[in-house]
Amino acid sequence: MLSKVYPKVDKKVKAKIVTFLGRITFQKGPEYFVLAAHRVLQRFPHVQFVMAGSGDKLEDMIRMVASFGMGAHFHFTGFLKGAQVNELLSQSDLYVMPSVSEPFGISPLEAAQVDVPVIISKQSGVAEVLHHAIKVDFWDVEALADAIHGVLVHNPLSNTLSSGAVVEVKSFTWDAAAQKVVHVYHQLN
């Protein structure tokens, strides 16, 4: 169901990398990512935050990062696709999707596929199927910051999330989905 998997590559920087990947629009909650980043950096300054994507809130996010003085810890990549997405994810220590409203959201699965732990909003559809992820309310910036900090400083937590999610993602196949549909169909007859 997911695109080609690329192998994990050696990181180019020593700092921890936390990634947001998606359209930079209200629906995706980029401001909550920036606000949480600000709180995390107050406790743990050895982090780089990456916001990958484009959208109508991009300029607002750049201004917000500048207003907090986080420019040295924050990177905007613009729109990425294919191998670029996989390279970014494989360099990441954590993927965060604080969506306000998200029918599903495939990017957390792509992150899990390359052994990256994920934090997602409870309001995202993927929260219903991805159990090895930390789930927070999109608006709870403190909980999001605490979760980011926790994953970055507690390797056992990070390892448990990523190894469990990898197993889950492998089970998401078209055959498995079809079998579920057939099972429901037979239950209705």
The predicted model gives 21-29 an average pLDDT of: 96
Cα gap 144→41, rounded to integer Å:
13
Please give the pLDDT value at position 128: 84
Tokens of 77: 């990549």
DSSP 14-31: SSEEEEEES--SGGG-HH
Q: Please determine, for residue 40, whether its predicted confidence score (pLDDT) is greater than 50.
A: yes
Please give the pLDDT value at position 54: 97
Q: Please determine, for residue 175, whether its predicted confidence score (pLDDT) is greater than 80.
A: no
Please give the pLDDT value at position 11: 64
The predicted model gives 166-172 an average pLDDT of: 68
**Burial of residue 151, with CB atoms counted within 10 A of its CB: 0-12 exposed, 13-18 middle, 19 or more buried:** buried
Q: How does pLDDT run across 48-63, given as a tens digit for each residue?
A: 999 999 999 999 999 9
Q: How does pLDDT run across 104-136, given as a tens digit for each residue?
A: 888 998 998 899 999 999 999 888 888 889 999
For the ranges 35-44, 101-110, 166-175, the lowest mean pLDDT is seen at: 166-175
Q: How confident is the model at residue 159 (pLDDT cuts 50, 70, 90)?
A: confident
Which residues, listed in sequence order, are joined to residue 118 by a DSSP beta bridge? 95
Please give the pLDDT value at position 169: 67
Q: Please determine, for residue 148, whether its predicted confidence score (pLDDT) is greater than 80.
A: yes
pTM of the model: 0.85
Q: Please determine, for residue 94, whether its predicted confidence score (pLDDT) is greater than 90.
A: yes
Cα gap 39→57, rounded to integer Å:
21
Highest mean pLDDT pick, 54-58, 165-169, 173-177: 54-58
Q: Please determine, for residue 69, whether its predicted confidence score (pLDDT) is greater than 80.
A: yes
| Percent of the chain whose predicted confidence (pLDDT) is above 70 | 88
Packing angle between helix 58-67 and helix 30-43, nearest 10 degrees? 20
Tokens of 156: 């056992």
Q: Are 89 and 19 in contact (CB under 8 A)?
A: yes
